[in-house]
Amino acid sequence: MDVLHLRRDQKDWRAQTRVIALKNRLNSGERRLPACRSRQLAETGNWRRIELRAQKCCRQGCRQLQAGSLCSPSHDALRGVLSSPCRPCFAQRGPKVTIDMLMGNYHIAVVGATGAAGTELLRVLERRNFPVASLRAIGSARSAGKSVPFRGESVPVEKLDDRCFDKTDIAFFSAGGDVSRNYVPIACQSDAIAIDKSSAFRMEPHVPLVIPEINADDVRRHRGIIANPNCTTTVMLMALYPLHRIFHVRRVFAASYQAVSGSGTRGVEELTRQTRDAVHGPKSRTKPGSSTSPEATADKTIPASVPPKTRIYPHPIAFNLLPHIDSFLDSGYTKEEVKMQDEARKIMHSPALRVSATCVRVPIYRAHSVAVSAEFQRPLSVEQAREILSKAPGLELIDEPHSNRYPMPLTVAGKDNCQVGRVRLDCAFENGLSFWVSGDQLLKGAALNAVQIAELL
């Protein structure tokens, strides 16, 4: 018999969503929506032990689940799901697990805690007062001996290995696709819920891909892994989805302007180094006060004549634009551009949507922007669009072009909300609208969105 540790926070429905995830994991078959039965075994102090028996569903489409004595379904949204079970579903018995439920906070692991997205995640957990019982900061062997700050303390960084997820409730992954592919399954084996910021599992049919303002309900069908969408897609959808809900988007042309922190800390270092070298000369880091110091050489250097050394991008990023993010496919699009269509379809439950994107890396540190031209099924006006966008959750309308007010990376960086502006009827599309949306991709595109997902559990 498996024993799983289930945290129970203030809200009963958090426990219920976890039970639904267990139910999904216990039963095989993609399309089957099995029923599940539970009974209370014991209650000691803060702990409640329950037995959960999965039932193989004999009838496709059965959505019913019996709560039994697990806990009272206090959340309205779950009442329908937790109604009495479909009789035929109990004809066949499935495996069972025992779950210990504890009133308390979550044991958290952050893989990639020293990176750009991981560092931001720790700040967001702290800022949003996420109920953390314990925190494990995990990195590569390169981070051995380092520590990261969390709630006024120094948390030592552990080297990633198979034991890192013991007794972990939620594991945030932000260490790239290879690490996620290898270690997310290990975290799930340890009964942690993995919230993955890489692209490794995003398009797996059984993995919800979630932006809480758009498809929070999808979290309920997770089986241990929840994926955080691509950062540029997230920024675009924060403005596109509220319009889509009313006017139904058909196709989109988009051009992105993506900050170097989207490539992690190495992207930031590359822009800093190349900018300094281009302005002051490559030797500017040596001999302060000497004839080659920045002060002495600044007025003698012709920036364009000094090709900076490149480490992570194929060409210099300082004073340049790279119409190239991720690798090129046979179609001529890059993987990043294809993600904008594929992920948008999955998140918005809109399989016929067509998105043609050009993704561009720009020499700014933080916040991605997207110029969007969208064609809708229903006619719309600028006034209607502005009204909808001004009320959309997680979005701010900044659209006073005659006062030079529109979203910009510098004004949106460090903010939770994305910003939209330059809203206008598109002159090339029937029922078309063009707009410009900016968002901090380290926050809404990564850390903030991941923590918002965890808050849904």
Ligand X SMILES: NC(=O)c1ccc[n+]([C@@H]2O[C@H](COP(=O)([O-])OP(=O)(O)OC[C@H]3O[C@@H](n4cnc5c(N)ncnc54)[C@H](OP(=O)(O)O)[C@@H]3O)[C@@H](O)[C@H]2O)c1
Catalytic amino acids? 231, 368
Q: What does the block give as tokens for 270?
A: 């590359």
Given 442, 443, 448, 454, the residue binding ligand X (CB under 6 A): 442
Q: Does 116 bind ligand X (CB under 6 A)?
A: yes
Q: Which residue is nearest to ligand X (CB)?
A: 115
Counted residue by residue, the chain has a size of: 457
Q: Which is nearer to ligand X, 19 or 111 (CB)?
A: 111
Least Å from the CB of residue 358 to ligand X = 19
Write the CB contacts of 45 (distance below 8 Å, at least 6 apart in sequence).
Answer: none
Q: Does 316 bind ligand X (CB under 6 A)?
A: no
Range in contact with ligand X (rule: CB under 6 A) among 88-96, 248-256, 257-265, 343-351: 257-265
Write the CB contacts of 144 (distance below 8 Å, at least 6 apart in sequence).
Answer: 157, 159
Given 34, 73, 118, 421, the residue binding ligand X (CB under 6 A): 118
Q: Which is nearer to ligand X, 70 or 446 (CB)?
A: 446
Given 174, 284, 334, 452, the residue binding ligand X (CB under 6 A): 174
CB atoms within 10 A of CB 114: 20
Q: Does 439 bind ligand X (CB under 6 A)?
A: no
409 to 428: interface string for ligand X, x by CB under 6 A? --------------------
Given 68, 85, 94, 115, the residue binding ligand X (CB under 6 A): 115
Range in contact with ligand X (rule: CB under 6 A) among 87-95, 264-272, 351-359, 418-426: 264-272
Which residues within the stretch 120-159 sit at the binding site for ligand X (CB under 6 A)?
139-140, 142-143
Given 55, 66, 233, 261, the residue binding ligand X (CB under 6 A): 261
Given 104, 131, 176, 185, the residue binding ligand X (CB under 6 A): 176
Q: Does 179 bind ligand X (CB under 6 A)?
A: yes
213 to 242: interface string for ligand X, x by CB under 6 A? ------------------x-----------
Q: Does 202 bind ligand X (CB under 6 A)?
A: no
Q: Which is nearer to ligand X, 68 or 139 (CB)?
A: 139
Q: How far apart are CA 450 and CA 180, in angstroms?
A: 15
Q: How far apart are CA 273 and CA 285, in angstroms?
A: 9
Q: Does 266 bind ligand X (CB under 6 A)?
A: yes
3-class DSSP string for the chain: CEEEEEEECCCHHHHHHHHHHHHHHHCCCCCCCCEEEEEEEEEECCEEEEEEEEECCCCCCCCCCCCCCCCCCCCHHHHCCCCCCCHHHHCCEEEEEEEEEEECCEEEEEECCCCHHHHHHHHHHHHCCCCEEEEEEEECHHHCCCEEEECCEEEEEEECCHHHHCCCCEEEECCCHHHHHHHHHHHHHCCCEEEECCCCCCCCCCCCECCHHHHHHHHHHCCCEEECCCHHHHHHHHHHHHHHHHHCEEEEEEEEEECHHHHCHHHHHHHHHHHHHHHHCHHHHCCCCCCCCHHHHHHHCCHHHCCCCCCCCCCCCCCCCECCCCCECCCCCEHHHHHHHHHHHHHHCCCCCEEEEEEEECCCCCCEEEEEEEEECCCCCHHHHHHHHHHCCCEEECCEHHHCECCCHHHHCCCCCEEEEEEEECCCCCCEEEEEEEECCCHHHHHHHHHHHHHHC
**Size of the residue set binding ligand X (CB under 6 A):** 29
Given 17, 24, 198, 438, the residue binding ligand X (CB under 6 A): 198
Range in contact with ligand X (rule: CB under 6 A) among 23-31, 36-44, 113-121, 333-341: 113-121
Q: Does 164 bind ligand X (CB under 6 A)?
A: no
Q: What does the block give as tokens for 311?
A: 């480490």
Q: Does 269 bind ligand X (CB under 6 A)?
A: no
Lookup result for tokens 């032990």: 49
329 to 368: interface string for ligand X, x by CB under 6 A? ----------------------------------------
Q: Which is nearer to ligand X, 16 or 174 (CB)?
A: 174
Q: Does 265 bind ligand X (CB under 6 A)?
A: yes
Range in contact with ligand X (rule: CB under 6 A) among 256-264, 277-285, 339-347, 389-397: 256-264
Q: Does 175 bind ligand X (CB under 6 A)?
A: yes
Q: Which is nearer to ligand X, 116 or 451 (CB)?
A: 116
Binding site for ligand X (CB under 6 A): 112-118, 139-140, 142-143, 160, 174-177, 179, 197-198, 231, 261-262, 264-266, 441-442, 445-446
